[in-house]
A and B are shown apart, each in its own frame.
Chain A
Amino acid sequence: MSRSHQSRGMICSLFSGRAHWASAGHPRYPLVGLAAMCVVGLVAALVVAGEKAPRTGGTLKIAWVGEPPTLDIHKSTTTSTRRLAWHMFERLFTFDEQYNLIPELAEGYEVSSDGKTYTVRLRKGVLFHNGNELTAEDVIASLKRWMDNDPIPKNYLIPDLEALEATGPHAFEIRLKQPNGATIDFLASIAQGPVIYPKEVIEEAGKDQIKRFIGTGPYQFVEYLPDRHIRLKRFDRYSARSEAANGYGGKRAAYLDELIFYPVADVAVRAAGVEAGDFDVAIEVSTDDYDRFANHPLVDPVIAGPAAYVVFVPNKKSPTMGNVKIRQALLAAIDVEPLMKVAFGDQRFYRLDCSILMKETAWWSQAGCELYNQKNVQKAKQLLQEAGYDGTPIRWITTQVYQQMYKTSVAVKSQLEAAGFKIDLQVLDWATLSKKRYEADFYDVFVTYFTYRPSPVLFYTVLAKTWAGFWDNPKKDELIVQTLRATDQKRQFELWSQLQRLIYEDVPFVRTGDFFDLHLKRKEVKNLTNKPEVFFWNVWIEP
């Protein structure tokens, strides 16, 4: 079933890719007709596949990767936080199957002709879990708190913002000093995104984390027992959208009575739990075991993604990596395929791609791609010579907490040493690494990964000069500003491509290939997503 979905999805994405360009300007939705065709196609695929109607009831037990540091999405960029908490909390906009913006809590929006005023209409009759109706007051309070916390709007929206005001119980205005073409994209941000909490919850939290978990989502909070489980139950008065489910948006149905998330740190135990029937779903299991899962009579493996790509981030303040020629040598020397093989094994779980934003989005660009995956040892050697590299060991910090980061680091070491680099590989735990990468004199390169981001603005955090690696480049800043000013999508795309080219020329980081996650589910669990961000609305259990 998931295969037919996938191929159908690709055809749809071809369609809407074109639709996207045709509909340049505001509002940025794909042509309705084509979208409708895709929906019809999907429904047809379901019928052909002989899928039974969804069933209501049952408890879904989920072996989760680990304890989320918090359930307050405004307060954290971690995947574990948002993928769990977004069953309870919703945003104004989200992304559809092809990563186009679609409304979620919003009904729609209008932009004034000068591009400086956005009027967003809210859906009426949406209830919070405490029974109160969602109003513009809650939205304004939530957006203000989110802007205070998330560096993306702080850096790229607030400077343009004149006012954020309710214009009625179900509408509000974003007034800008100058046009900002990414305004709605910000509102759809997934990581540390602008989810809507009730105003009183925000007021009671002050500067701290929220104390009560009340949202508008299909599931509501029941209990959180640290290291034991987090339990959510169906919100009976949930107001779902009327459109069919589409990507992260459309109709969300809570078919299950309860969702229970168990933090299970050990990857083998997560998988074994599903095989033995203790859990219904396990998130991120080992790709090495794919064949065994595929042949198992009671479970199905689900390849989801693309999840992310591993990046090597040179420290632009270090004496060696501060030199752009040495960074270019790093880029030239790398042969991506062997790294991916070492880290992910089977080709089903990775693919090579040079685009900074992923293939499935409208932002997929080939700019600068001749500099990706060069495998050019000679060129690297020459660049090192020109740079006067004297063999000073490159302090390369990585972590075993995320095996992909560790394995790719080990594999790339020999490639780089063949080109004349001397690599001093240092393994730290994640908490240490994520702190040390802000200490400019501690390291020369660190390893991390960039998760899937459907829009350039959601990528800007890691381009900021305050972010680890310290990329200070006036041309980059200029391009970012220009991209924000552009309101026409074609122009935005051109500017983003120029920015991507700059990334390949100035090498603030080196991208490897995209990788996919492997989830495991019992066969009776139906309709589990294969999208990068996992969710359990629209999932049901066939008894």
Chain B
Amino acid sequence: MRRYIVKRLGSLIPVMLVVATLVFFLVHLTPGDPASVILGPDAPQEAIAELRARLGLDKPLPVQFVRWFGQVVQGDLGESIFLRRPVTQAIVERLEPTLLLAGLATLFAIAIGVPTGVLAAVYRNTWVDRLFMIIATFGVSMPNFWLALNLIFLFALTLSLLPVSGYVPLAKDPALTLRFLLLPAFSLGFPQSALIARMTRGSMLDVLSQDYVKTARAKGLSERVVIYKHALKNTMITVITVIGIVLAITLSGSVVIETIFGLPGIGRLIINSVLRRDYPVIQGTVLFVAATYVLVNLFIDLLYVYLDPRIKYQ
């Protein structure tokens, strides 16, 4: 087991190398540059050229790549052009809202998705099933920014229950932090809950037709025990995989939701850095997101062992 984990962690290295190379060239081959963003729309070319030179952007791309890569290998993601602080620090500063948002959104997704999936499977082909699956299809197809704007309209503008946008750090006022996070977390979590519900239903139907479920029922166990103890636990392998994907998606920062709700998280950092061509930050956050994906997947794989003792990693 330990060897397996070490091996998996080791596989991070080639992944990161490929991602680093790809992102560097993609970002630098995109037209536009930070100098013209800093200097503004009226700036003449000579001023832009001068600033580019000062930022080291006039050097040939391979030279810039080698210099940046050399730093990254030593664990230094470089310095942001706009934020005037190391990229690592910029990422760490934005972790709190993103982590909380991801956690809460995943919680919403599970809390809504799993029960509806189970109920839809248990009452399959009845109106309950159809209603839930219609809602789920709607949920999967609904763009989350649309949901977000509607929620703002309803809960913030019409009912004045929750704030429109913004964020207060956890350390300052946890209750207020939660109020700021409820709408974004729901906007982010609800469409994901639809995905979870559909997967839970499908997997549950599979399990319910298995022999051991028939056996359990034949033993005279109550339907509740059959479903929640015998069937649901075996459904969880599939469901956990989906939850893992959901967690990875939300953790890597929801660009749209964080922008709409003004949450200073990783997603905002990515989109703003792209818009102002803050190369070191784009590169750093993309690496961070790639690492998050790999680690979440590893965590999910390890969770399988706990859920299904038959699974063994060599």
Interface residues of A (CB under 8 A from B): 67, 69-70, 75-78, 81, 149, 151, 191-192, 207-209, 225-228, 262-266, 268-269, 272-273, 275-278, 428-436, 438, 448, 461-462, 464, 466-468
B32 contacts A278, C-beta separation under 8 Å: no
Indicate if B33 sits at the interface (CB-CB under 8 A).
yes
15 extra interchain contacts, Cβ-Cβ under 8 A, other than A76-B39, A77-B42?
A69-B82, A151-B44, A191-B42, A227-B264, A264-B165, A265-B259, A269-B164, A273-B165, A275-B157, A278-B156, A430-B275, A435-B48, A466-B46, A467-B44, A467-B45
Residue ID in chain B nearest A464 by CB atoms: B44
Indicate if B120 sits at the interface (CB-CB under 8 A).
no
B38 contacts A70, C-beta separation under 8 Å: yes
Indicate if B47 sits at the interface (CB-CB under 8 A).
yes
**For the complex of A and B, 8 pairs with smallest distance between CB atoms:** A77-B40, A431-B32, A78-B40, A77-B42, A432-B32, A227-B264, A273-B164, A432-B31
Indicate if B30 sits at the interface (CB-CB under 8 A).
yes
A/B interface sample: 23 pairs, CB < 8 A: A69-B82, A76-B38, A76-B43, A77-B39, A77-B40, A77-B42, A77-B43, A81-B40, A151-B47, A227-B94, A227-B272, A264-B262, A265-B259, A269-B165, A269-B260, A269-B262, A273-B164, A276-B163, A432-B31, A433-B32, A435-B31, A461-B42, A466-B44
A464 to B39: give the CA distance in the assembly, Å.
Answer: 17
B164 CB contacts on chain A under 8 angstroms: 269, 272-273, 276, 278
A435 contacts B33, C-beta separation under 8 Å: yes
Query: How many inter-chain residue pairs (CB < 8 Å) link A and B?
Result: 125
B40 contacts A192, C-beta separation under 8 Å: yes
Indicate if B71 sits at the interface (CB-CB under 8 A).
no
A411 to B32: give the CA distance in the assembly, Å.
Answer: 26
Residue ID in chain B nearest A465 by CB atoms: B44
A152 to B272: give the CA distance in the assembly, Å.
Answer: 29
B82 CB contacts on chain A under 8 angstroms: 67, 69-70, 226
**Chain B positions 70-111 with a Cβ under 8 Å from a chain A Cβ:** 82-84, 90, 94
Please encode chain B, from 46 to 69, with 1 for each CB lying within 8 Å of some chain A CB and 0 for all others: 111000001000000000000000
Residue ID in chain B nearest A277 by CB atoms: B160
Indicate if B153 sits at the interface (CB-CB under 8 A).
yes
B152 contacts A278, C-beta separation under 8 Å: no
A269 CB contacts on chain B under 8 angstroms: 152, 164-165, 260-262
B259 CB contacts on chain A under 8 angstroms: 265-266
Indicate if B304 sits at the interface (CB-CB under 8 A).
no
Indicate if B166 sits at the interface (CB-CB under 8 A).
yes
Q: Give A177 Cβ to nearest chain B Cβ, in Å.
A: 23
A20 to B297: give the CA distance in the assembly, Å.
Answer: 73
B36 contacts A434, C-beta separation under 8 Å: yes
A275 to B165: give the CA distance in the assembly, Å.
Answer: 12
A401 to B44: give the CA distance in the assembly, Å.
Answer: 21
Among A227, A265, A435, find the residue whose CB has the most chain B CB atoms closer than 10 A: A227
A265 to B163: give the CA distance in the assembly, Å.
Answer: 16
